[in-house]
Amino acid sequence: MKIEESQIPELIRLGKDKQVIPVLYDKVLPIVQKFIVRNQGSKDDAFDAFQDALLSFYKQVVKGSFDPKYKVYGYLYRLSINFWLNKLKKDKRVVFESEFNEMDLSDDSQNPERIAFVKTSDENVLRTLFTSIGEKCIELLTYTIYQNILMEDIVLRMGMASVDSCKMQVMRCKKKLVQLIEENPALLEKLKSK
């Protein structure tokens, strides 16, 4: 039986998790491992983070608090990465300016996809620029420019249709940002002076 991503929460609620769990391991764990191994972790660390995320996701689905607006694979990926980032902070293995906001990973988590910016001496300049281009563009540009994440990974994280649509969206976001900077030369000068 081929399981569609959109069917996963309902199948879990119906007690068919033995069919669903292997699919989640196949689809999400390899990408979680790739990210964590590239960011000071091991495959065992990735497995642990993924299992913690899977348990949290499972509880949310069973309690009925999982928000169906989220794509399952991307949501599980984000949870896994945030479990890993929190572990890094706890272990103090790295001085870490989080690329993700602190997430409430409890079962009623409302917005696991917000992104924080590295603090600068004039954070307001960045906020002014980036707020205008929108959350989705901020997330896309952060992944592509600062984190240099593969397009395939971004597609899964953000629940996009394809790599081509992701590339197109990145181009649109860059164009928006360039246009915004051109329209606000004072902000650009302020950034250059830092």
pLDDT tens sequence across 39-93 = 778 999 999 999 999 999 999 998 988 888 888 998 999 889 888 888 877 776 5
- pLDDT of 120: 36
Based on the structure, what is the number of domains in the chain? 2
Domain presence at residue 151:
yes
Question: What percent of the chain is modeled with pLDDT above 70?
Answer: 73
DSSP state of 159: T
Q: Name the 3-class secondary structure at 187.
A: helix
CA 76, CA 18: separation in Å to the nearest integer? 17
Does pLDDT of 102 surpass 60? no
Say which CATH number the domain at 59 has: 1.10.1740
CA 21, CA 16: separation in Å to the nearest integer? 9
Does pLDDT of 103 surpass 80? no
Domain presence at residue 12:
yes
Whether residue 135 is found in the same domain as residue 179: yes
Whether residue 19 is found in the same domain as residue 71: yes
- pLDDT of 57: 92
Amino acid at 16: K
- pLDDT of 48: 92
Domain presence at residue 14:
yes
- pLDDT of 97: 38
Domain presence at residue 42:
yes
Structural domain containing residue 13: 5-91
- pLDDT of 175: 86
Across the chain, mean pLDDT equals 75
Q: Which long-range contacts (CB under 8 A, 24 or more apart) does 17-23 make?
A: 17/58, 21/54
Domain presence at residue 145:
yes
- pLDDT of 193: 60
Once rounded to an integer, what is the mean pLDDT over residues 23-27?
Answer: 92
- pLDDT of 173: 87
DSSP state of 4: P
- pLDDT of 24: 92
